[in-house]
Amino acid sequence: MRSIVVLAVALASALAEVDATTEGGMVQVAQSRVVNGALTSIDQFPYIVSMQYYGAHRCGGSIITTNRILTAAHCTVNIAANTLAIRAGSTNSQSGGELVAVVEYTNHQSFNPTTLENDISIMFLDTRLVTSLQISVIPLPMQNATIPVGIIADVAGWGALCEKCPGASTLQYVGLPILSNEDCGSMYGESIFPGMLCAGFVEGGRDACQGDSGGPLSDGYLLLGVVSWGDGCARPNSPGVFTQVSLYRNWINGLL
């Protein structure tokens, strides 16, 4: 995984229509953590899952149907599906809830592992999850829905609490403001491509990090984005970059 957090963001519910149904420099690196966030519980984020690789937490993911998990392509690329599982319904990444095997995954056909364009993937589960107060599907925004700049969206995960720190075993979250791609591009230059969206504080201090990759950015109702990359964790002028879910809704629908 990479050391830079990327959060892919999709439409905010306030203005959205809902469908019923390695490291260093400016190189994009996958991250695993939430920095300067707070402890939370699965009851607050029942749609989040821990992606497990040989039994250890690797990335986050979001439940979009009872047998489909949305995550980042850089979390799954070049990894055999039979080495992956997801843990749902637990605040702890290593125990509790439901542990379900992944049988296959589909990365976006135009995923670029160098630039992290189209950093989105769907994992297919061996059995359907049983929904409960701790396990639920998160609604998706409509295709091409826009996200208002300045709204606060929550990122949750089991990532590191600081750069080069180990991941957290207990679920964490942090609220981040949505930035315009123009402002984000002024900090990251030509690394920001269509399909990406940024969230974070210009002064730094709060962010996602290693281990948070693939996890959700949400407004409390809709899945706005997928954690993708960033320059380090919580650094000034280095917001999180996300895959904007609303720009991939048609692609997602084709795999449901």
| Sign of the C-alpha dihedral computed for residues 9, 118, 1 and 82 taken in this order | positive
Whether 38 and 144 share a structural domain: yes
pLDDT for 147 beyond 80: yes
Catalytic site includes residue 119: yes
Whole-angstrom Cα distance, residue 155 to residue 33?
10
Higher-pLDDT residue of 223, 174: 223
Tell me, yes or no, whether 112 and 173 share the same domain.
no
* Closest to 106 (Cα-Cα) out of 84, 129, 85, 124: 124
- Residue 4 belongs to some domain of the structure: no
Which of 213, 228, 238, 246 is catalytic? The answer is: 213
Residue matched to tokens 């979001």 = 62
Shared domain check, 159 and 126: no
Residue that terminates a domain, selected from 103, 137, 171: 137
Check whether residue 142 and residue 237 sit in a common domain.
yes
Active-site residue, from 3, 90, 93, 119: 119
Q: Given pLDDT bands bounded at 50, 70 and 90, which one contains residue 138?
A: very high
Indicate if 144 and 241 belong to the same structural domain: yes
For residue 54, the enclosing domain spans 48-137
Q: How far is CA 37 from CA 24, 58, 220, in A?
A: 23, 19, 16
Are residues 96 and 211 part of one domain? no
Q: Of 108, 137, 166, which residue constitutes the final position of a domain?
A: 137
Q: Which of 123 and 220 is assigned the larger pLDDT?
A: 123
Return the higher-pLDDT residue of 74 and 212.
Answer: 74
The residue among 110, 137, 164 that closes a domain is 137
Domain tally, the chain: 2
Query: Could you tell me the pTM of the whole model?
Result: 0.85
Kindly report, residue by residue over 21-32, the tens digit of the pLDDT.
233 333 333 333
Q: Is 108 an annotated catalytic residue? A: no
The domain spanning residue 113 has which CATH number?
2.40.10.10
Task: For residue 256, tell me if it sits in a domain.
Answer: no
In the prediction, which pLDDT does 44 show? 96
Mark whether 147 and 235 lie in a shared domain.
yes
74 is an active site residue: yes
Residue 110 shares a structural domain with residue 181: no
